[in-house]
Amino acid sequence: MKKALFSIFLLISGMPYAQRPVDIHGFLNVKGTGLFDQYGKKIALHGVSYGWHNFWPRFYNQSSVAWLAGDWHVSVVRAAIGAEPRDGYINAPKKSLKAAEAIINGAIKSGIYVIVDWHSHNINIDSATQFFTFIAKKYHHYPNIIYEIFNEPDYESWEEVKQYAEKIVTVIRKYDPKNLILVGCPHWDQDIMQPADDPLKNVTNVMYTVHFYAATHKEYLRKRCDSALAKGLPIFISESAGMEASGDGNLDYPEWLTWIRWADNRNISWVVWSVSDKDETCSMLKKSAGSNGGWNDNELKESGVYTKRLLKKY
């Protein structure tokens, strides 16, 4: 009877036990340019990012995470916690933490990894310190947690971003000595050559983020990444998609697939933007899609259908 009840619980939780990524891999570690699990196996994560929590809060719930884990086969989700805009963390911290914890707790329950993303284009050192102190103190003992400390620096210099990153890494490491930290780079995570020439010093378990939108960012950005990798810089693609960098326009399927193959050949993790229902190409869901998952293909937009297809093979 106990065995039967346990089997029912596993089905409800979203994924069979043997296939739950965190149960298999545990804590993640960076060695050289690679990401490894706690047993020394090289791995890459593949998943989706939620849209800004303050614009699409209805999707920020544990049920949607369970659906993505079980039906789309994601190994990671990204909680994009907006900092500055209306109802963002800076003016609505309690509401923002509630949204973050819904995705974090959903990921823990479903046995997948979760990127806790400070979704900002600007340096807000005091608010970011407060946010990551709360997350690290509460969740440091879970191997599911990945910290993304600066979504997309826009016009800040690498020197400014580096100084900020050093401070926030120190804040996190005060409470969490183990889990992976992702660091952004200037011009919307395009100038990866700058941290490659001047990486953070005396830090552990850190990777650097690149973002691509396939209809805009093509071979030139992959060459930048290859140059950074050759210099020993570990890369994580924490946001990507197949359309233009504006988030709109037509999908460039050949270029998107070229990016996926490029990343897979180098064992680089990638995350697709976004779980939202905005009237733009990059939002994966139609207005008719329910808040809690259970989406059929008729409720997915073109990007959602293709993203799901890409993920299912993993």
Catalogue all structural domains in the chain, each as residue range(s) with its CATH number: 2-312 (3.20.20.80)
Q: How many helices (H) and strands (E) does the chain have?
A: 11, 10
Pairing state between β 29-31 and 34-36: antiparallel
Tens digit of each residue's pLDDT, the chain (314 residues): 433 433 444 444 444 445 799 999 999 999 999 999 999 999 999 999 999 999 999 999 999 999 999 999 999 999 999 999 999 999 999 999 999 999 999 999 999 999 999 999 999 999 999 999 999 999 999 999 999 999 999 999 999 999 999 999 999 999 999 999 999 999 999 999 999 999 999 999 999 999 999 999 999 999 999 999 999 999 999 999 999 999 999 999 999 999 999 999 999 999 999 999 999 999 999 999 999 999 999 999 999 999 999 999 99
Among 101, 152, 156, 255, the one annotated catalytic: 152
The token pair that represents 148 in the structure block: 């993304």
The token pair that represents 157 in the structure block: 């210099």
In the residue annotation, 244 being an active-site residue is answered as no
Query: Can you tell me the distance from the alpha carbon of 195 to that of 268, in angstroms, rounded to the nearest whole number?
Result: 17
Q: What's the sign of the alpha-carbon dihedral 82, 84, 90, 93? A: negative
| The pLDDT value given to residue 265 | 98
Query: Can you tell me the distance from the alpha carbon of 276 to that of 283, in angstroms, rounded to the nearest whole number?
Result: 5
Cα of 106 vs its chain's centroid, Å: 14
Beta-bridge mates of residue 145: 114
Phi/psi of residue 163, nearest 5 degrees: -60, -45
| The pLDDT value given to residue 10 | 46
| The pLDDT value given to residue 176 | 98
Among 101, 239, 244, 255, the one annotated catalytic: 239
Neighbours of 37 (CB within 10 A): 17
Phi/psi of residue 69, nearest 5 degrees: -70, -45
Query: Can you tell me the distance from the alpha carbon of 97 to that of 85, in angstroms, rounded to the nearest whole number?
Result: 15
| The pLDDT value given to residue 4 | 43
In the residue annotation, 280 being an active-site residue is answered as no
Query: Can you tell me the distance from the alpha carbon of 50 to that of 42, in angstroms, rounded to the nearest whole number?
Result: 26
| The pLDDT value given to residue 19 | 79
| The pLDDT value given to residue 8 | 41
